[in-house]
Amino acid sequence: MLLLKSDIVKLNDDELVAIAMLHNKQELDEKSMATWFAGEYNSEMICVTNGEKGALLYSAGKFYEHPGFKVNAVDTV
C-alpha cells in the first residue's frame, strides 16, 4: 500500500473517515483520527481538507488549523 511509503498525506475529511472505518476507528473525532492515521501509516505530516470549513494539519505531534477563505468557485476541477 502506497500510504505506508508516504511521508506527507493529503486527504479530505470523507477519505479520512473511510480509512478509519476500515480499521474500526470511525468513532474517533477528526484530530484523534489524524493522530491515529499518522501512527498507523508512519506518516510525518497529515493534511485533512474540510471543504468550506478549511483544513487541519498534523505534524510532529501538533495540530494547525485554518478556517479557509470565502471564494466564488467557478469550477472546482
The parent domain of residue 62 ranges over 2-66
Q: 35 vs 3, 6, 8, 20, 41, CA distance in Å?
A: 15, 15, 13, 11, 10
Q: Can you tell me the mean pLDDT for 39-51? A: 96
Q: Which residue has the cell 468550506?
A: 52
Q: Domain count of the chain?
A: 1
72 band by pLDDT with thresholds 50, 70 and 90 = confident
CA distance 28 to 33: 6
Whether 44 is in a domain gets the answer: yes
pLDDT surpasses 80 at 41: yes
Q: What is the CATH number of the domain that holds 60?
A: 3.40.1620
Q: What is the pLDDT at residue 60?
A: 95
Give the integer Cα–Cα distance in Å for 66 and 61: 17
